[in-house]
Amino acid sequence: MGITPTRIAIDAMGGDYAPSQIVEGAIQAQETHGVKVLLVGDPQKIKACINHKSNQPLPEIVPAEEIVEMHEEPLTAIRRKSKASINVAMNLVKQKEADAVVSAGHSGAAMASALLRLGRLSGIDRPAIGAVLPTMVPKKPVLILDVGANVDCRPKFLEQFAVMGTIYSEYVLGTTEPKVGLLNIGEEPSKGNDLSVRTHQILQENNQIKFIGNAEGRDVLSGSFDVIVCDGFAGNVLLKFAEAVGDAVLQMMKEELTPGLSGKIGTAILRPNLKRMKQRIDHVEHGGGLLLGVGGICIISHGSSKAIAISNAIRSARDAVENKVIERINSNYVPENHKSIVSNQ
Amino acid sequence: MGITPTRIAIDAMGGDYAPSQIVEGAIQAQETHGVKVLLVGDPQKIKACINHKSNQPLPEIVPAEEIVEMHEEPLTAIRRKSKASINVAMNLVKQKEADAVVSAGHSGAAMASALLRLGRLSGIDRPAIGAVLPTMVPKKPVLILDVGANVDCRPKFLEQFAVMGTIYSEYVLGTTEPKVGLLNIGEEPSKGNDLSVRTHQILQENNQIKFIGNAEGRDVLSGSFDVIVCDGFAGNVLLKFAEAVGDAVLQMMKEELTPGLSGKIGTAILRPNLKRMKQRIDHVEHGGGLLLGVGGICIISHGSSKAIAISNAIRSARDAVENKVIERINSNYVPENHKSIVSNQ
């Protein structure tokens, strides 16, 4: 959009492989995704990671003196360490010096920092974390939210997740009239726990979304749904299970397909096919979680993110910024515009 | 056990492929698992399926005039159709003419029939459905319960699931000192929703089980846990998702591995390896769900069960009977015995 590239602030100090893989991913993204990255953290340590990339334009470094460690209680750490890299990154968005934040550090701390510094959007009671998973239908991912921000939910929270998810799916994932499902244990409206029965009714009455009914566990990856809403407990269990299953399948392929001479020959012949399958399964290919409902774009990547995952997360952040996700969610900002988008559903 | 074989009553009319695949699976089980099967249902239709197997001992047929259809409200149907095949099968166990029931029909109806005819075991507030999934560690399955019987749970229900699951894992799955986990969204005791925080504490204080802490979604298939307890909502979502993922991976292997000449050659060479992997993933190989907490062994198989799944379910039922799972759960029946089993943990 426009003349200046989208500016993404990266918490260079957060994540299992920080800062080296974070820096490498940021540089990759700057080269391939047309963004300007701002690396936030210890300048010495960041510079040590980029010395060898001297023929590329160096990313800008924004100094931050502190780090929120993984064991820290998020809210306390965020309040106490005002100069922590995640806080400095969020401040860049708040001060309009960056358009989005990407962090692979302490996810609770990133959420707390976003809430305190960027605030909630009007009309949103609880921000949610959305995760994009591949489905059985190629190039047709499903957005699941919430995957961990809110363990105990009320029906109206899930309704807000559905509206935010619809906007993200439409404008960032490129879905036409996203089909929304409610995670549940049966197809009928009467099925499920207290939360899901009450939410089903509310979603049916909401004309901002295209609610097509309950989504059972077996439907999540079917490609029949574009957005699936659930409380953060079920969503988190599902997401972590899905990621682990992906890893498990990849490991199982290694264990079961390669033994023996025929295994070695067969897998050698199949290498490109196996690689394509790995790409479909591997969650690293699919960027990070999106914090929806706060006053800025914030991508929360896995702690285990390596360069490629960081680069993909930066691309997602860019897409969300350039497609004005925040403005669209913030119904006080463009209420008429948003209403016209969904009025014919 | 002993001189007379274990007698398994099969609802021959329940399931997508009833009666043909049910009958075939029952005959397979009678041949390979050393059980006596009682096929419950319409004698005409059952006989039509077994005519061609004349060189094998014919299974006994117990006539039942009615069928609970999949769309029926379970409790109403069970009360109204006293001669439904599932009711007749449960009555056989009640009257000690059979030792266990296997059904691939309406699962809610099977549960309602079991509750009404066999009753709850003493000390059990809510029966649970347990499902056995393969893990990343070969021959080390994990038992998850509840996977759908109770959507809204209290901490003491989950505690009872943990005790029943421990007994099933130890005596049917052959686990020494089963490691019990609580499905949750973090490792720390303070993590999770209201139910999981309160349940964590109760499980820690229970000396009948070996509780090793919270199990996150990523831990379910790791092999680190033998029994994982959760409410029926999260468990059902997880189970249906896991089964669908298994199917999805098998389909993806077909789609991604076979295209092209090298794909055809490679998969031909890998056929035995691919088959082994399929067996590890395919849920059909792992029998059915077990209804724990009622006064008899009752295996609830998938509606989509074919002969091999029915035969495996019958084997699970036999193992549960021969290892006295009911007697062991029913603490009023053998309280001292059970206490001695778990006292050194």
CATH number listed for the domain at residues B126-286: 3.40.718.10
Q: What pLDDT shows up at residue B252?
A: 74
Q: What pLDDT shows up at residue B274?
A: 74
- Looking at the DSSP bridge assignments, the partners of residue A300 are A103, A289
Condensed to tens digits (0 to 9), the pLDDT of residues B129-140 reads 999 988 888 889
Please indicate whether, in this complex, the C-beta atoms of A273 and B252 are within 8 angstroms of each other.
Answer: no
Q: Which of A209, A148, A328 is nearest to A200 (CA)?
A: A209
Given a cut of 80, whether residue A73 has pLDDT beyond it is: yes
What is the largest distance, in Å, between two alpha-carbon atoms of chain A? 66
Mean pLDDT in residue range A230-256: 85
Nearest to B270 among A238, A245, A257 (CB): A257
Please indicate whether, in this complex, the C-beta atoms of A266 and B262 are within 8 angstroms of each other.
Answer: no
| Domains B1-124+293-332 and B126-286 belong to one CATH topology | yes
Given a cut of 70, whether residue B339 has pLDDT beyond it is: no
What is the largest distance, in Å, between two alpha-carbon atoms of chain B? 66
Q: What pLDDT shows up at residue A70?
A: 86
Please indicate whether, in this complex, the C-beta atoms of B257 and A240 are within 8 angstroms of each other.
Answer: no
Given a cut of 50, whether residue A297 has pLDDT beyond it is: yes
Given a cut of 70, whether residue B342 has pLDDT beyond it is: no
Q: What pLDDT shows up at residue A315?
A: 93
Given a cut of 80, whether residue A181 has pLDDT beyond it is: yes
| pLDDT above 70 coverage of chain A, percent | 90
Please indicate whether, in this complex, the C-beta atoms of B136 and A248 are within 8 angstroms of each other.
Answer: yes
In the block, residue with structure tokens 């005039």: B65
Q: What pLDDT shows up at residue B1?
A: 46
Q: Which of A90, A139, A80 is nearest to A111 (CA)?
A: A90
How many CB atoms lie under 10 A from the CB of residue B216? 19
The alpha-carbon gap from A12 to the nearest alpha carbon of chain B, in Å, equals 25
Greater model confidence, B56 or B126: B126
Condensed to tens digits (0 to 9), the pLDDT of residues A101-110 reads 999 998 889 9
Q: Right CATH number for A1-124+293-332 from 3.10.450.100, 3.40.190.10, 3.40.50.720, 3.40.718.10?
A: 3.40.718.10
Condensed to tens digits (0 to 9), the pLDDT of residues A32-45 reads 999 999 999 999 99
Please indicate whether, in this complex, the C-beta atoms of B248 and A276 are within 8 angstroms of each other.
Answer: no
The alpha-carbon gap from A343 to the nearest alpha carbon of chain B, in Å, equals 32
Please indicate whether, in this complex, the C-beta atoms of A152 and B194 are within 8 angstroms of each other.
Answer: yes
Q: How far is CA A152 from CA A63, A231, B63, B141, in A?
A: 37, 7, 49, 30
Given a cut of 80, whether residue B290 has pLDDT beyond it is: yes
Contacts of A270 in chain B (CB under 8 A): 257, 262-263, 266-267, 270
Condensed to tens digits (0 to 9), the pLDDT of residues B217-238 reads 999 999 999 999 999 999 999 9
Condensed to tens digits (0 to 9), the pLDDT of residues A5-21 reads 999 999 999 999 999 99
Q: What pLDDT shows up at residue B36?
A: 95
Q: What pLDDT shows up at residue A53?
A: 53
Condensed to tens digits (0 to 9), the pLDDT of residues A88-97 reads 999 999 999 9
Nearest to B217 among A221, A231, A237 (CB): A237
Average pLDDT, chain B: 87
Greater model confidence, A290 or B9: B9
Please indicate whether, in this complex, the C-beta atoms of A270 and B277 are within 8 angstroms of each other.
Answer: no
Nearest to A262 among B243, B262, B270 (CB): B270
Mean pLDDT in residue range B322-339: 67
Mean pLDDT in residue range A208-220: 95
Q: What pLDDT shows up at residue B337?
A: 44
Instruction: Say how far apart CA A10 and CA A61 lie, in whole Å.
Output: 10
Q: What residues does each domain of chain B span?
A: 1-124+293-332, 126-286
Six-digit token string for B156? 């003491």
Q: What pLDDT shows up at residue B331?
A: 60
**3-state DSSP of chain A:** CCCCCCEEEEECCCCCCCCHHHHHHHHHHHHHCCCEEEEEECHHHHHHHHHHHCCCCCCEEEECCECCCCCCCHHHHHHHCCCEHHHHHHHHHHCCCCCEEEECCCHHHHHHHHHHHHCECCCCCCCEEEEEECCCCCCCCEEEECCCCCCCCCHHHHHHHHHHHHHHHHHCCCCCCCEEEEECCCCCCCCCCHHHHHHHHHHHHCCCCEEEEEECHHHCCCCCCCEEECCHHHHHHHHHHHHHHHHHHHHHHHHHHCCHHHHHHHHHHCHHHHHHHHHHHCHHHHCCEEEECECCEEEECCCCCCHHHHHHHHHHHHHHHHCCHHHHHCCCCCHHHHHHHHCCC
Which residues, 6+ apart, have CB-to-CB distance to A205 below 8 Å? none
Nearest-by-CA chain B residue for A182: B237
Contacts of A196 in chain B (CB under 8 A): 233
Q: What pLDDT shows up at residue B147?
A: 93
Given a cut of 80, whether residue A313 has pLDDT beyond it is: yes
Given a cut of 50, whether residue B5 has pLDDT beyond it is: yes
Which residues, 6+ apart, have CB-to-CB distance to A71 below 8 Å? none
Lowest-pLDDT choice from B44-53, B101-110, B131-140, B283-292:
B283-292
Query: How would you class A340 by CB atoms within 10 Å of its CB: exposed for 0-12, middle for 13-18, buried for 19 or more?
Result: exposed
Q: How far is CA B40 from CA B16, B236, B329, in A?
A: 16, 28, 27
Given a cut of 50, whether residue B333 has pLDDT beyond it is: no
Given a cut of 80, whether residue A275 has pLDDT beyond it is: no
Average pLDDT, chain A: 87
Contacts of A241 in chain B (CB under 8 A): 217-218, 220-221, 238, 241-242
Q: What pLDDT shows up at residue A339?
A: 44
Residues in chain B: 345
Q: What pLDDT shows up at residue A260?
A: 79
Q: Which of A82, A79, A46 is nearest to A62 (CA)?
A: A46
The dihedrals phi and psi of A81, each to the nearest 5 degrees, come to -100, 80
Residues in chain A: 345
In the block, residue with structure tokens 């300007």: A36
Instruction: Say how far apart CA B336 and CA B345 lie, in whole Å.
Output: 15
Helix (H, G, I), strand (E, B) or coil at B241: helix
Condensed to tens digits (0 to 9), the pLDDT of residues B236-252 reads 999 999 888 877 777 77
Tell me how far apart the terminal alpha carbons of chain A are, to the nearest angstrom.
29
- Looking at the DSSP bridge assignments, the partners of residue B38 are B9, B60
Instruction: Say how far apart CA A13 and CA A17 lie, in whole Å.
Output: 9
Please indicate whether, in this complex, the C-beta atoms of B273 and A263 are within 8 angstroms of each other.
Answer: yes
Contacts of A280 in chain B (CB under 8 A): 252, 256
Nearest-by-CA chain A residue for B239: A217
Q: What pLDDT shows up at residue A5?
A: 93
Condensed to tens digits (0 to 9), the pLDDT of residues B21-44 reads 999 999 999 999 999 999 999 999
Given a cut of 70, whether residue B53 has pLDDT beyond it is: no
How many CB atoms lie under 10 A from the CB of residue B18? 25
Rounded to 5°, angle at Cα A246 from A241 and A252: 115
Mean pLDDT in residue range B313-323: 93
Given a cut of 60, whether residue A284 has pLDDT beyond it is: no
pLDDT grade, residue A287 (50/70/90)? Answer: low
- Looking at the DSSP bridge assignments, the partners of residue B61 are B39
